[in-house]
Structures are given as C-alpha cells and as structure tokens.
A = this chain, B = another copy of it.
Amino acid sequence: MKIASSKSNLMEGINIVQKAVSSKSTLQILEGILIEAGDTLKLTGNNLEIGIECVIEADIREKGSIVINSKMLGEIIRKLPESEVFIQTFENNKVLIECENSRFEIMGLSSEGYPALPQIEKQGSFNIKQIELKEMIRQTIFSASTEESRPILTGCLFELKDENFSIVAIDGFRLALRKTVLENQKGNINVVVPGKTLNEIVKILQQTEDTVQVYFTNNQIMFDLGNCKIISRLLQGEYMNYKNIIPVDYLTKTIVKTNDLLSSIERASLIITSEEKKYPVRFNIEKDSFIITSNTEKGSVREEIPSDMTGNPLSIGFNPKFFIDALKAIDDEAINLLFTNNVGPCCIKPLVNDSYIYMILPVRK
C-alpha cells in the first residue's frame, strides 16, 4: 500500500472512526484503525458493537491495506505539519509515515484478522437533516437508563409511523420524547438503538442541512452520511408502551420561562449533595406565585419565579437533576408545566406545538 493524503483529511477521518475504536481491548487488532487503499482510501474502526467507516480523499499509488494502532496513528498525524502525508507499507507489516522532514517507522498489524463490518440488507430506511437528528438525539438521550438491570431502557426508541418520526428515552423515573414530521416519506419502523451508539453519533452528525440516510434491519441500524457510514447493533426486546403512561388530563397548568425555572432549580439544588437523594426540590404553586424550596442539613433555599397558574394549587417534590437535564435540553424561551396531582408526574410541553414532551415522576416524601 502506498498513499498520499493531506494531514487535515486524514485527521478528520481518524477523529471520526476513532469513536468506534476500543482504547483497551482484549483483541489487539480492535485497538487499531483499518486503512484500506482500493479505488478509494477507507478508514474503519470497529469495537464489535459499533463500526464506523470513512472514505477520505487520497492519491492511491499502490493498493493494499494495514491496521495501525489508533491512538498512535492519531497522535502522529495530529503532530505533523499541515502538509501532504505519505503512508507506505513494507514486508512484515512495517509502516512508513512521511511528511516534510518527518519520518516515522512503526509496526502495523495484518488486515487479515480485522473483523469486517456487517453487511446491511436495506429492509427499511428514511432520511433526515443531520442537524435535526443531532438535536433530537441530544434532547432525549440523557433520559435513557444507564443501569443494565433493564437493558432495553439503555437505548432510545426510534419510531416511524407513516411520516411521523419520534425518539423516546425512558429510565423509569422520567421520559423524554421528541417528534418531527418527515415530509414526503412514509414508513413503519420500531427499533431500539443503544445509548452508547447514539452518544457517538451525536458527535459525528454535523450542524448542517445535509441529510443522513438511516437504514434498518431486524438487528442492525446504519447511518449513512455519504463519506461516512456508522453501523450499530440494535437492542432486542419489547420497548415500554410509553403512550399509556403519559397523562391526558391535567388539573394544574402554568407557563414559566425556561431559564427562570432552570436557574432557580439549580440554586435550590446547591445544598443537596448527590448522596442526599432523599431531599427533593419542592414546588409550591399558587394562583400568582411559584415558590421553589429545598431543605437539607446544610440549610435552606427559597426561590420565587413569575408564573400564571390555572387549576388546582399544588405542593410537589422532584429530584432536581431530572428537571435540570430536561430544561437544559429545551431551546424554547417559555414552556408549559402540566400536573395531575401531588403524586402524579409533571409534563413539560411546548407552548405552541407538540414537538416534545418531558415527563418527570415526583419524589414522595
């Protein structure tokens, strides 16, 4: 193999495929990046849960392939000058990397042992703007469970019904739901994508109107960004029937400014240490006042924010972290806070449409 490519193109490709490379694996070859020079230059990372391949611009002078330790390759390319980089392989997997007056000789691994990415038979698909998918994932992923006791909840539900696409995350105490309409597309898809995969994909998706094509099989999903493809296994099992747990009628409604509520809850939670989960932040909502309080061994906090309640006055306690996570994900200036009663969940909804729902269960005390 003998190729020439720019430092910046190589670096961009390495940064992306590294997201699928294990830094510590029992298989040394999985700590490497597969470099394949055929008609194009392709980089691949694969930790057997998620695989990423990237095609980058390069001048292929001799076809071939090699696996190079991902950390070392990344460090070397990062430190090279902004110039053309030559990579060449020799007998016994020796690799030569040259750039201006720098010359590295390192040992690679044979590409023969590298596990191929699974082939996706494209059973179903839809496309969506990268920026929109990125935002939808960012605005739901934090509600996925991190506990392996119910593995299915460590993923996010991707649900496509006709032209309506939703992402849902539930950890047993809270729910996050984001919806959008995919115009001129139809489908019927119901799959659960691992949270780990989405945490990497959200970093790879760009703030651009360019589309990403999403393909599904029964147990795989592929995100095709054009030059870059990300393949992940899906979680198997039945997802929670989330529609049944969202209340329909609310007896206490109020509109608040997102940042007012966020800042007040953040301050009220300052005297609550993470070990003191028994202490909730309490909302006391009356016709013309919304008081947020907390009381712990460290002291007490009282916050008041403007609000405009209709319905029943209410006193209810919540884990502040769940509100802080949800409020940070919301871009709207103001939101609807909707309650049933002091043992029922709080739902956060937009003022004008139904593009999201955040539902948070209260803390009984």
Interface residues of A (CB under 8 A from B): 72, 75-76, 79-81, 101-107, 263-264, 266-267, 270-271, 298-305
Contacts and interface: CB of A to CB of B under 8 A. Distances in A.
A195 to B, nearest CB: 29
B266 A79 contact: yes
Nearest to A297: B107
A72 B105 contact: no
18 contacts: A72-B271, A72-B298, A75-B270, A76-B270, A80-B267, A81-B263, A101-B304, A102-B264, A102-B301, A102-B302, A102-B303, A103-B303, A104-B270, A104-B300, A104-B301, A105-B300, A106-B271, A107-B298
B106 A298 contact: yes
Nearest to A99: B267
A109 to B, nearest CB: 13
Contacts of A305: 101
Given A72-B270, A103-B302, A107-B298, 16 more contacts: A72-B271, A72-B298, A79-B267, A79-B270, A80-B267, A101-B264, A101-B303, A101-B304, A102-B267, A102-B301, A102-B302, A102-B303, A103-B303, A105-B300, A105-B301, A106-B271
Which 10 A-B pairs give the minimum distances between C-beta atoms?
A106-B299, A101-B304, A103-B302, A105-B300, A79-B267, A105-B299, A75-B270, A104-B301, A102-B303, A102-B267
A267 B304 contact: no
A256 to B, nearest CB: 13
A45 B76 CA distance: 44
Contacts of A106: 271, 298-299
A39 to B, nearest CB: 29
A302 B105 CA distance: 9
A271 B73 CA distance: 10
B72 A267 contact: no
A338 B264 CA distance: 62
Contacts of A267: 76, 79-80, 102, 104
Contacts of A301: 102-105
Nearest to A301: B104
Given A106-B271, A303-B103, A263 B298 contact: no
Contacts of A80: 267
A346 B31 CA distance: 39
Contacts of A103: 301-303
A288 B75 CA distance: 30
Contacts of A105: 299-301
A101 to B, nearest CB: 4
Contacts of A101: 264, 303-305
Contacts of A264: 101-102
Contacts of A72: 270-271, 298
A55 B112 CA distance: 69
The listed residue with most B CB atoms (<10 A of its CB), out of A75, A79, A107, A304, is A79
Contacts of A81: 263
A263 B271 CA distance: 48
A266 B102 CA distance: 11
